[in-house]
Structure 1
Amino acid sequence: MRSAVREQSRAGADWIKFAGGGGFTSAVNDPDSTSYTQAETHTIVATATDLGLPCATHALSDRAVRRAVTAGVRSIEHGYFATTTTYQAMEEAGIYLVPTQYVQTYFLDRLDDDTYWDSDTAATRRNYRAYADRLRQGLQRPARTGITMAFGTDAGLFPHAENWREFPTLVSNGFSPLRTLRSATSTAAALLDRPDLGTLTPDATADLVAVEGNPFRDITATGRTRYVMRNGHLITPHPGATF
């Protein structure tokens, strides 16, 4: 464990991410599985901490999330089956949740579409069918807590052009528009320890997205982009392209 973390550090990694448990798309483990013992999890996080690197943990099951929280990670990615008690422990420890919820509804909405699945994705489909009810309940749970939520999408498992759909998905699962928008701006910047990002303040990095409409009243406005500014420079899209 120590060697793997040190190798990543020497290669220039800014973060250490490890899979604390299984997932839906794996044919060799399931979402309830746990990858490391508590001692092993502590070793990963302690080694990263000694090297000044924060840890992000892929974890779905409550046990995997709890082990990562006990070890002192900075963020939990996904956490779908974490209990309210575990979320409370995260809140008390100041650990962020990156819930990546749209990717789950993307697959759940296609469960009965036989044309979408093939032999390569049959195991994934079986996992989603087995966990569908628990997963839908789990997607509703974090909004009822005081957890600090940062925006993330797991893009690549669905088309990148649909990243914006994470916003309305979070709102539909109980997060307020304000909390949701902050998750992608100031809260995300805090998670990354980048105070120059995520706010409209003097001397902040001028990374901006202009949308059509008021996302506080209609969160789907996040899918109607007028323009993007990166580091103070207006990004001109390729003709016919959409953001």
Structure 2
Amino acid sequence: MHTVFKSLFFGLATIMASQASADLTYLTAAKALDVASGTFTEQPALIIEAGRITHVGTAKSLPAPAGATSIHLEGLTLLPGLMDMHVHLTSDAEDNFLASMNYSIPRQTVKAVKNAHKTLMAGFTSVRDLGDSGYAVIAVRDGIRAGEIEGPRVWSAGHSLSVTGGHCDDNFSAPEMKSVAAGVADGPWAVKAKVRENIKYGANTLKICATGGVFSKGTQVGIQQYTEEELRAAAEEAHQQGMIIAAHAHGTSGIKAAIRAGIDSIEHCSFLDDEAIKLAKKAGTFLSCDIYNTEYTLAFGEQNGVPEENINKEKQVSAAQRESFRRAVKAGLNMVFGSDAAIYPHGDNGKQFHTMVTFGMSPLQALQAATINSAALLKQADLGQLKEGFHADIIAVNGDPLKDIRVLENVAFVMKAGVVYKRVE
């Protein structure tokens, strides 16, 4: 036991020393990409102090300050840390689908700790977790903030709101179990109360399930669940308390009702029509489309215990969702990066970039979705770019992501808030 505690002590001491030495850092690389303009700076140099970028220049114009820790990333390209606006850290796609529903809250919390670390190592320095049980992700988020564990910045929704029997309720248990998901709320005032309850226990974003979904029992993906009045109640309460709110919405009527109700982002967006696109354009609504995970579900879902009903629903939405994504990009809607990681393995988030480019985005647009657009959705004016005054959330890759977006699948260097978490091997 003495050896274990000694190891833990020196591990924490190493982390603290790393953070202390990172108070003033001089960072150089071969190139840096401005994700707003799509232009590169050759031989960039950044000075980072107390977790923020204080100066931006080139190695020739900006010398290293006295006492700074110098990091030279020879041959690599700097980018702002990536942002995924739809993850579920407490779940693993590799686990048996039905068995995992019986995991205890402590077990799910352990999963979230592991997956937060994998996500950060993949270059995603900010995530929005859209639904868990028992506020497990809020606990993990707070542990990350306290420096007790490693992970990205986390916006956690707590319990997803659902109508009785809808997507996000517990429909897999037998009736005599009388199992009701903690986010179930019927009627505008009950919805408001549930929003307040999530915020009471630490949620810093919110989610409501407006339509049926793929990975639930007995729901139809295209069917609207919440009324527009209920959706508006959720949006008004969230905004009154300074929060942004997402709506899970596959079906057309649910998408349009959520947009009209003032929901900030629509998740999945499988069945868009012309009116929905016009409404989203006018309202400035953000769309988050998880268009990568289809292949994983269809290839591994059955062996991972996903019921036939759910696999069939994935087949129903996959092609339509990708076509809706293409049309949304063509219409110039506000698009963010949302992977729904947990439907496929955490740490593979970056593989969605190639799919986004395949279905209509330029590499720069895909990068903007995961940086400046996601920062705009979160209302974080100091995230998503390599600029003076911004948080020092920085990654580096080997290659040019505008020529080959797949370089983002293998991030070589990760810094968050000025602290290096992944070094070049």
User: TM over 0.5: same fold?
Assistant: yes
* 2:214 is the alignment partner of 1:13: no
Instruction: Summarize the Cα distance change of 1:132–1:180 in structure 2 as closer, same or farther, 3 Å threshold.
Output: closer
CA contact (8 A) 2:244 2:378 kept: no
CA contact (8 A) 1:88 1:147 kept: no
Query: Which SS does the other structure have where 1:17 is aligned?
Result: strand
* 2:225 is the alignment partner of 1:38: no
Partner of 1:145: 331
Q: Distance in 1 between matches of 2:248 and 2:254?
A: 9
Q: Once the 2 structures are TM-superposed, how far is the Cα of residue 235 of structure 1 from its aligned partner?
A: 1.3
* 2:241 is the alignment partner of 1:48: no
CA contact (8 A) 1:20 1:68 kept: yes
Q: Distance in 1 between matches of 2:377 and 2:317?
A: 30
Query: Which SS does the other structure have where 1:22 is aligned?
Result: coil
Q: Distance in 1 between matches of 2:318 and 2:288?
A: 20
One-letter code aligned to 1:192: L
Partner of 1:57: 247
Partner of 2:120: none
Structure possessing the higher relative contact order (Cα contacts under 8 Å, 6 or more residues apart)? 2
* 2:370 is the alignment partner of 1:180: no
Q: Distance in 1 between matches of 2:335 and 2:374?
A: 8
Q: Once the 2 structures are TM-superposed, how far is the Cα of residue 137 of structure 1 from its aligned partner?
A: 3.0
Residues 35-184 of structure 1: pairs in structure 2 closer than 5 A:
35-108=225-298, 110=299, 116-117=302-303, 120-184=306-370
CA contact (8 A) 2:209 2:247 kept: yes
Deviations 1:12-43 (A, max 9, x none): 22112111111111122021111111111111
Q: Distance in 1 between matches of 2:259 and 2:202?
A: 25
Partner of 2:398: 212
Q: Please say which structure displays the higher CA radius of gyration.
A: 2
* 2:193 is the alignment partner of 1:193: no
One-letter code aligned to 1:168: H
One-letter code aligned to 2:235: V
What is the alpha-carbon root mean square deviation over aligned residues? 2.1
Which structure has greater strand proportion? 2
CA contact (8 A) 2:209 2:248 kept: yes
Instruction: Summarize the Cα distance change of 1:38–1:236 in structure 2 as closer, same or farther, 3 Å threshold.
Output: closer
TM (norm. structure 2) is: 0.52
Q: Distance in 2 between matches of 1:236 and 1:219?
A: 20
Q: Distance in 1 between matches of 2:304 and 2:393?
A: 40
Q: Distance in 2 between matches of 1:33 and 1:3?
A: 24
CA contact (8 A) 2:270 2:317 kept: no
Matched residue count: 235
Partner of 1:203: 389
Deviations 1:70-93 (A, max 9, x none): 001111111111123312211211
Q: Distance in 1 between matches of 2:323 and 2:377?
A: 26
Q: Distance in 1 between matches of 2:294 and 2:418?
A: 34
Q: Distance in 2 between matches of 1:28 and 1:167?
A: 32
Instruction: Summarize the Cα distance change of 1:99–1:20 in structure 2 as closer, same or farther, 3 Å threshold.
Output: same
Instruction: Summarize the Cα distance change of 1:98–1:135 in structure 2 as closer, same or farther, 3 Å threshold.
Output: closer
TM (norm. structure 1) is: 0.89
Partner of 2:216: 26
Q: Distance in 2 between matches of 1:30 and 1:19?
A: 12
Q: Distance in 2 between matches of 1:13 and 1:74?
A: 16
Q: Once the 2 structures are TM-superposed, how far is the Cα of residue 66 of structure 1 from its aligned partner?
A: 0.4
Q: Give the ranges of 4+ consecutive aligned residues of structure 1 lying more than 6 Å apart after TM superposition.
A: none
One-letter code aligned to 1:231: A
CA contact (8 A) 1:117 1:125 kept: no
Name the % identity.
30
